Amino acid sequence: MTGKRDKYTDNQHSILYGETGGICPLCTQPILFTKPGSKPVKGYEVAHIYPLNATPAQVKILAGYPVPADINALENVIALCPSCHTKYDKDFQLAELIMLQKIKEGFLNEAQAKLTVSKYALQEEVYDILDAIATYEVDRDDLSGLNFDLATVDEKLKHGMSPLQKREIKTHAVDYYVRIRDHIKRLEQQDQYAVRVLQSQIKTYYLAMQQHHPDNKDLVFNYVAKWIGVKTNKSLLASKILTSFFVQNCEVFDVGSN
Ligand SMILES: [Zn+2]
């Protein structure tokens, strides 16, 4: 049976181009060419990840590999530069198909997380905390106020988080936990509910991300941090530090519970 190639609409092209960030996901070359004084020229093709009409050689390679429900669906196509597209189809290999599926899955996850940014509210106290974080000078010789146990972070992050991500969170916790905790205490004295509302907002977003990615705590952590950064237009690093604080502060992140 021969599959029919779909003609993708302008809006679908916008999605496919947009998710790449403007570069071919395989060779990183730009896929839209702009010249001063002329209109941008499209430099990509819509490639089927799982082949639309597999050649006999491809059929052999694909034996036993699951066929997507809809080969023409956006989930099975990706924008590639013409030379990567030709190479992918010609030297078709299962390892490359799996890699492209992974890249595409990353694009879809990223898009889905971005679309949720506006849906979830954040208390304005978060601006104040992020600004404060951005001004702290870390003094590693004076960690005298450090009265929490980093082992609890390990315990909480036992499953589904990479050693690198754990290290980042622990480093932030060591350097900033006490300062942020004290700052939040001061905010609580002004308005005892504001910080609790903020905590529950962050928890809600955390749970929403975890619902989509129950086995990937790295992704969940980074989506929460990115959400705070994009939403507030503040430093992503300060947002990561704040997110790490909430991981240490177990009321928000109960990350070891599954
Ligand atoms: Zn390419």
Render pLDDT for 197-206 as a digit per residue (tens, 0 to 9): 998 899 999 9
Question: Is the predicted pLDDT of residue 18 greater than 90, yes or no?
Answer: yes
Lowest-confidence segment of 4-13, 82-91, 211-220, 244-253 by average pLDDT: 244-253
pLDDT at 257 (0 to 100):
45
Compute the distance from residue 45 Cα to the ligand 1 centre, in Å.
10
Compute the distance from residue 63 Cα to the ligand 1 centre, in Å.
27
**pLDDT tier at 148, thresholds 50, 70, 90:** low
Compute the distance from residue 19 Cα to the ligand 1 centre, in Å.
15
Compute the distance from residue 82 Cα to the ligand 1 centre, in Å.
7
Q: In the chain, pLDDT over 90 holds for what percent of residues?
A: 58
Question: Is the predicted pLDDT of residue 227 greater than 60, yes or no?
Answer: yes
Helices 194-212 and 163-190, packing angle to 10 deg: 150
Compute the distance from residue 52 Cα to the ligand 1 centre, in Å.
20
Could you report the per-residue pLDDT of 33-63, keeping only the tens digit for each? 988 898 989 999 999 999 999 999 999 999 9
Compute the distance from residue 51 Cα to the ligand 1 centre, in Å.
18
Compute the distance from residue 67 Cα to the ligand 1 centre, in Å.
25
Question: Is the predicted pLDDT of residue 253 greater than 70, yes or no?
Answer: no
Ranked by mean pLDDT, the top range of 144-153, 216-225, 241-250 is 216-225
**pLDDT tier at 159, thresholds 50, 70, 90:** confident
**Chain centroid offset of residue 83 CA:** 28
Compute the distance from residue 231 Cα to the ligand 1 centre, in Å.
32
pLDDT at 251 (0 to 100):
54
Q: Once rounded to an integer, what is the mean pLDDT over residues 114-121? A: 87
Query: Rounded mean pLDDT of the chain?
Result: 88
Compute the distance from residue 18 Cα to the ligand 1 centre, in Å.
16
Question: Is the predicted pLDDT of residue 141 greater than 90, yes or no?
Answer: no
- One-letter amino acid for residue 243 of the chain: T
pLDDT at 258 (0 to 100):
42
Question: Is the predicted pLDDT of residue 187 greater than 60, yes or no?
Answer: yes
List, in order, residues 6 or more apart from 111 with CB less than 8 Å away. 15, 18, 19
Compute the distance from residue 81 Cα to the ligand 1 centre, in Å.
4
Compute the distance from residue 211 Cα to the ligand 1 centre, in Å.
33
List, in order, residues 6 or more apart from 54 with CB less than 8 Å away. 62
pLDDT at 42 (0 to 100):
92
For residue 61, the number of C-alpha atoms closer than 13 Å in the C-beta half-sphere is 17
Compute the distance from residue 85 Cα to the ligand 1 centre, in Å.
7
DSSP string covering 50-118: S-SS--HHHHHHHTTSPPPS-TTSGGGEEEE-HHHHHHHHHT--HHHHHHHHHHHHHHHHHHHHHHHGG
**pLDDT tier at 254, thresholds 50, 70, 90:** low
Q: Once rounded to an integer, what is the mean pLDDT over residues 229-239? A: 95
